[in-house]
Structure formats: C-alpha cells, structure tokens
A and B are shown apart, each in its own frame.
Chain A
Amino acid sequence: MLGNHKYIAFETILIKEIRRFARIWVQTLVPPAITIGLYFLIFGNLIGSRIGEMGGFSYMDFIVPGLIMMAIIQNSYANVTSSFFSQKFQRSIEELLVSPVPNYIILAGFIAGGIVRGLAVGTIVTIMSFVFTDFSIHNFPVTVGVVLMTATVFSLAGFVNALFANNFDDISIIPTFVLTPLIYLGGVFYSVELLPEAGRIVSAFNPIFYMVNTFRYGILGTSDVNVFWAIAMLGAFVIALFVICILLLRKGTGLRH
C-alpha cells in the first residue's frame, strides 16, 4: 500500500471514529461533563470551601487538574473499547480486516479516535472548570505532552481490552474494577502528603498517580512526583502497549480463527 493510500486509510478510520462518538454525543460527551461538573460543585465548591488549602492551593484549584485528567483517561479508554468491540460484535470489523490496511494503521486510527474523544471531553471539562475557578497553565509543553501521552496510553489499553473481550461484560470489568479505583486512589482528590507511609508506597505503584501529578505540575506548578521520571514512564507505557497491540493484531487475537 502506498504512503498516501495509508494516510487516506488512517484518515478514514479516524473520521469514522469521530463521526461515531459525535453521533451519540448524548452518551459520549454529555455524561462526563455532568459527572465532572457535579464533582466541581460538590467536592470543589461546597465541601472544598471547608477543607481549605491543599498543596498550597485552594481545594478547587487542586482538584481541577485531577478531574480533567480523570475525564481524559476514562473517555479515551471507553471510546476505543466500545467502538472496537462493537465492530467486532457487529462483525463490521471484517470490512477493515479484508482490506489492505496494515495493522499499524488500523491501530493508529482507533488510537487517534480515542485521543480525540479524550481531548474533546477534556476540553469540555476545562471550559466548565472556568465557571468555578480561574487558572493559568504553568508549563505548556508538559501539560500538552502529558495529556497526549495519557490519552494514548489509555486508548492503547482500551484496544487490548477490546481485542480480548468476548462480550459486553468484558469491556466493563476493567473500567469498573481496575481503572476507577486506580483513578480515585491516584491523587485526584488529595495530596500524597496526607497519606501514611504505607499509602505513599502503594501510590508509587499506581501509574495514574504519576499522570495526575504531572498534569497538575503542568497547570499549577506543583507535583508529588518527579515530572521527568513520570514522562519517561509514560513514554515507556506507550511503546510497550503499542508493541503488544501490534503483536496481538498480527496474531489475530480475538479477530481471526
């Protein structure tokens, strides 16, 4: 397949993905906006005003980066799992598998779709946060970099989930029992300084803890982790998951007999 043909194929998958989540915006864009809006209202505004400062910032300012990151993680993951698994379930994925599109373009198209939805929801949540607080970006490259890398990691993870999934339960187990606890325990609502020693050690093994804190550094300039180490770790996750996805696609896991 020629280079421009590959680009057209990539663009086609991406447009199809964007069209899909835009068509069902009531399911894909509105719920996270409402949920995060309620977090802002209840935790940030009502309860937060009684908590006082955290990490040198008002509680509302402190949780905004974590909540934006939570929206990006959940939506980039959900987009790829639901879209890819639905296509497997309806067998419309065969359209793509019988075509000459290389595996890495298929993967890139779905991942780009996940990133776009993560960014779309992240943007909506960011705009909503301005209703409750004002903030400026402390470090633009770190902020953009960590957002893109986090969305990529969770889109890739969602792709792995969708490849192995045999039914709709299989695509809700990981988000419910793995992703949600990791996000809630990943420093979205608190600083690691508040945790006992054991809690800090456990948090060190939670990758989302590094993502949230690096993003918080990009926005507020404060972080519980070493930012460079966190970015390197994110890069390693991207590479490792990309390789795993390519190997699974080449093997035909969940797709070919």
Chain B
Amino acid sequence: MTSALSISDLCKTYTNGHEALKGISLEVQTRDFFALLGPNGAGKSTIIGIISTLIGQSSGAVSVFGKNVATHVYETKLNFGVVPQEVNFSPFEKVADIVMTQAGYYGLPRSLASERTEKYLRKLGLWDKRDNRSRMLSGGMKRRLMIARALVHEPKLLILDEPTAGVDIELRRSMWDFLQEINQSGTTIILTTHYLEEAENLCRNIAIIDEGKIIENTSMKSLLGKLDSQTLVFDVRDELQSETFATIGLARSRFLDSHSFEVDIGKDENINDVFSHLEIKEVKVKGVRNKTNRLEQLFISRLKTPNNFPNTDKGETTLC
C-alpha cells in the first residue's frame, strides 16, 4: 500500500540560521490517524509548512501518495487539505463564501461547490451562520470553519495543526467524533496537538519530535506500553488523617489531603493488590483516577528539555 505521506531525511534551515529540522524521516500509512507531537518550536509547523509548500525544504524529500511535493505540485496539492494553527481567512468575508472560494481554487464547478459547502457547514454546525461575516464567529466556530474549508475538495489526506486549540471540552469531543468519522470513511489524518489526551484517544500511530529530530515513532499502543509506572489517585469515603494514612503501610504512596492519596503502580504490578491491601485496612475507596494522562507522562519523559515545556519558544516560524 502506498504511504499517504513519506518524509525522507528532511532538513530545514531558515535564513536566520535556525535549524528547524535535522534529518526527519517519517511514514504515514493510508487511512491512518497519526499524531505528530512535540513542544513549541520543535518543528511540527515547519513540517506541515513544507508539505503544504508554504515553506521550502533545505534538503530531503516529501511525497504525498507517492508523488514528490516539489516536483508534482498540482497532483499532490489536490490530495491534501490543511487546517493551519492560526486562523487565516478574511474576517470580512461571509462563512459560506470562504468555503465556496476554496472550492473554486480546486476547480470545483459552482453547483458541486455549493453542495459540498452545505454538506460540510451542516456537518460542522455552521450552516446557520453561513451568511455571517467570519469575524462574528466564536473561536471554536472559526476552527470548525477552517476544517470545513480544508475538506471541501474532499482530500485523501487531512493535516490538522492544533485544530482544537482554544475549543471548549464539549465542542472538542464533538470534533473528535467528526474526525473519527471522516477517518473511518477513508481519509488519512495527521494531527498535531498539545492536548495529549486527544492524541491518545484518536490516533493509532505517533511520532514525537523535539529540537528538529524524531525521538519516537511507533504505534500508540506500543508507546504507552513503554510506560514504567503510572500514578493513580484514590479518593476515599471517610476522612483520613496523615498519621492514620502512615499506618496503612502502602508502598510508594503519598498522602494528598483528608480524602485522597496517590499510589505509583509499576507496569508489572497489579492494581488489585492495592485494593486488597486497602480492604484489609478497612479503607473505603470512592473512586480512582489517573493523576496525569499516560501519554503526557511519556511525552515529558522523552523530551530533551522537558523543563522548558510548554513555554519554550525557539523561534518557530509561522506559515507566512
């Protein structure tokens, strides 16, 4: 099967000397839901910029469905859609006009463009806003409009650069459902996000990029399998004093407050052992939750400069 995206030894050095990509190689299979993660300035947007031809590569090769983006510009561009990180449509245009115009750029006849515009604006809950100027939309609506715009020519590969940034939880969940639906219908999706829960829930494969290099490239399942331990927070029914907690004698545990404590569970340990121990000590557990997202734990542990995350800005260049 042809890869949806193939990147080979990709390097990019900006004119100011900043080396954004240092020999990146990556394969994304057709129909995959792929996560590209990394801290700010790691090079994610540079990769997306190069795929979408907004940024020129210094060396290496990028192919979309087997065609090199530098030599087969038109064929490759027909096959992908990009949802950029920042809002990049005219604030003065009407919602429907923005999508219709994009359809026109891909050569869609007016009747088909109109049909697709309605289809995607309805799917993304923007049909009622079609005659509004885009500046009147909320942040979440603007993000959805960018997705509708990227889908209007029905690309085989959809690249989303932080599509849910600034979107409330409810809307984020409905966007996840929508993205899963279009992935199931055959569209390959590459997603960059800072919400690691989002990547964990949606993506089958993952690459982590840091300082212009790929530091992990594997399936989500095998990556999460590398987690040595996870920290679980136990909420208890009855009030607990720190002195009483000390007498319970739970290994690798810490008292948090009068109704909760946390326990580190190793990858080879059984959580039932903890419950058995607590039952013996007559501690009634009301609920258990992960202290942090599992992927987040791994992500931070893999980064070269984790202390700088998430506020590091290494001068990543915007797309224009």
Residues of A within 8 A of B (CB): 1-2, 4-6, 8-9, 11-13, 15-16, 19-20, 23, 86-88, 90-102, 252, 255-257
Contact of A257 among B56, B84, B97 (CB under 8 A): B56
Q: In chain A, what residue has the closest Cβ to B14?
A: A257
- Does B104 belong to the interface (CB within 8 Å)? yes
A-B contact pairs, 25 of them (CB 8 A): A1-B78, A2-B107, A4-B107, A8-B110, A9-B105, A11-B104, A13-B104, A13-B105, A23-B92, A86-B90, A90-B91, A91-B318, A92-B90, A93-B320, A94-B320, A95-B88, A95-B105, A98-B82, A100-B75, A100-B107, A101-B105, A255-B320, A256-B55, A257-B54, A257-B317
Q: In chain B, what residue has the closest Cβ to A14?
A: B104
A91 touching B319 in the complex, CB below 8 Å, given contacts A1-B107, A12-B105: yes
Q: Which residues of B contact A5 (CB under 8 A)?
A: 106-107
Would you call B77 and A99 a contact (CB within 8 A)?
yes
A96 touching B105 in the complex, CB below 8 Å, given contacts A91-B88, A256-B53, A257-B49: yes
Q: Which residues of A contact B84 (CB under 8 A)?
A: 91, 94
A100 touching B78 in the complex, CB below 8 Å, given contacts A91-B88, A95-B89, A257-B14: yes
Separation in Å of the B88 CB from the closest CB of chain A? 4
Q: Which of A9, A90, A93, A99 has the most B CB atoms < 10 Å from its CB? A: A99
Q: In chain A, what residue has the closest Cβ to B150?
A: A98
Would you call A92 and B108 a contact (CB within 8 A)?
no
A94 touching B319 in the complex, CB below 8 Å, given contacts A1-B107, A6-B107: yes
Q: In chain A, what residue has the closest Cβ to B107?
A: A5
Q: Which residues of B contact A88 (CB under 8 A)?
A: 320
Q: In chain A, what residue has the closest Cβ to B51?
A: A98
A88 vs B55: C-alpha distance in the bound complex, in angstroms? 15
Q: Which residues of A contact B143 (CB under 8 A)?
A: none
Would you call A98 and B107 a contact (CB within 8 A)?
no
Q: In chain A, what residue has the closest Cβ to B92?
A: A23
A5 vs B106: C-alpha distance in the bound complex, in angstroms? 7
Would you call A12 and B88 a contact (CB within 8 A)?
no
Contact of A98 among B14, B53, B89 (CB under 8 A): B53
